[in-house]
Amino acid sequence: MNTPTFQTKCPSCGKQHTYSTENPSRPFCSERCKLIDLGRWANEEYNIPAAPGSSQDLDAPPH
Ligand SMILES: [Zn+2]
Protein backbone atom coordinates (compact mmCIF):
# COMPACT_ATOMS: atom_id res chain seq x y z
CA MET A 1 0.00 0.00 0.00
CA ASN A 2 1.28 3.44 -0.88
CA THR A 3 -1.49 5.62 0.48
CA PRO A 4 -0.07 8.93 1.65
CA THR A 5 -1.27 9.58 5.16
CA PHE A 6 0.04 11.92 7.80
CA GLN A 7 -0.81 12.94 11.28
CA THR A 8 -2.35 16.31 11.88
CA LYS A 9 -3.71 18.14 14.86
CA CYS A 10 -7.39 18.84 15.19
CA PRO A 11 -7.86 22.64 15.39
CA SER A 12 -10.74 22.17 17.79
CA CYS A 13 -9.57 19.66 20.42
CA GLY A 14 -5.86 19.46 19.53
CA LYS A 15 -5.97 15.70 19.21
CA GLN A 16 -3.58 14.01 16.80
CA HIS A 17 -5.38 12.15 14.07
CA THR A 18 -4.69 10.79 10.63
CA TYR A 19 -5.47 13.29 7.92
CA SER A 20 -7.54 11.66 5.21
CA THR A 21 -9.24 13.07 2.16
CA GLU A 22 -12.02 10.64 2.95
CA ASN A 23 -12.71 12.47 6.18
CA PRO A 24 -15.51 14.98 5.44
CA SER A 25 -14.72 16.80 8.66
CA ARG A 26 -11.04 17.45 7.89
CA PRO A 27 -8.98 19.11 9.16
CA PHE A 28 -11.01 18.29 12.25
CA CYS A 29 -10.80 14.81 13.76
CA SER A 30 -14.55 14.37 13.75
CA GLU A 31 -17.85 15.90 12.74
CA ARG A 32 -18.36 16.85 16.35
CA CYS A 33 -15.18 18.95 16.50
CA LYS A 34 -16.17 20.63 13.27
CA LEU A 35 -19.50 21.63 14.77
CA ILE A 36 -17.81 22.83 17.96
CA ASP A 37 -15.58 25.10 15.90
CA LEU A 38 -18.52 26.40 13.88
CA GLY A 39 -20.39 27.04 17.13
CA ARG A 40 -17.42 29.05 18.37
CA TRP A 41 -17.68 31.29 15.32
CA ALA A 42 -21.41 31.70 15.84
CA ASN A 43 -20.87 32.68 19.47
CA GLU A 44 -18.39 35.35 18.46
CA GLU A 45 -20.98 36.81 16.13
CA TYR A 46 -23.57 36.82 18.87
CA ASN A 47 -21.14 38.64 21.16
CA ILE A 48 -21.05 41.65 18.87
CA PRO A 49 -22.88 44.41 20.80
CA ALA A 50 -26.13 45.71 19.44
CA ALA A 51 -25.94 48.68 17.13
CA PRO A 52 -25.87 51.92 19.09
CA GLY A 53 -28.96 54.06 18.91
CA SER A 54 -31.35 51.13 18.63
CA SER A 55 -32.87 51.98 21.99
CA GLN A 56 -33.21 55.68 21.30
CA ASP A 57 -36.58 57.35 21.30
CA LEU A 58 -36.89 57.38 17.53
CA ASP A 59 -40.59 56.64 17.42
CA ALA A 60 -41.71 59.65 19.41
CA PRO A 61 -45.02 60.86 18.00
CA PRO A 62 -44.74 64.08 15.97
CA HIS A 63 -46.71 66.66 17.77
ZN1 LIG B 1 -11.04 17.06 17.47
Give all domains of the chain, ordered by start, each with its CATH number: 6-41 (3.30.50.10)
| pTM, 2 dp | 0.56
Residues annotated in a binding site: 10, 13, 29, 33
Residues annotated in a binding site for Zn(2+): 10, 13, 29, 33
pLDDT digits (tens, 9 = 90+) for 5-62: 789 999 999 999 998 888 999 999 999 999 999 888 787 766 666 676 666 666 777 7
CA of 36 to the centre of ligand 1 (A): 9
43 forms beta bridges with none
What DSSP designation does 61 have? P
CA of 44 to the centre of ligand 1 (A): 20
Query: For residue 5, what pLDDT is reported?
Result: 76
Nearest alpha carbon to residue 17 among 27, 35, 29, 25: 29
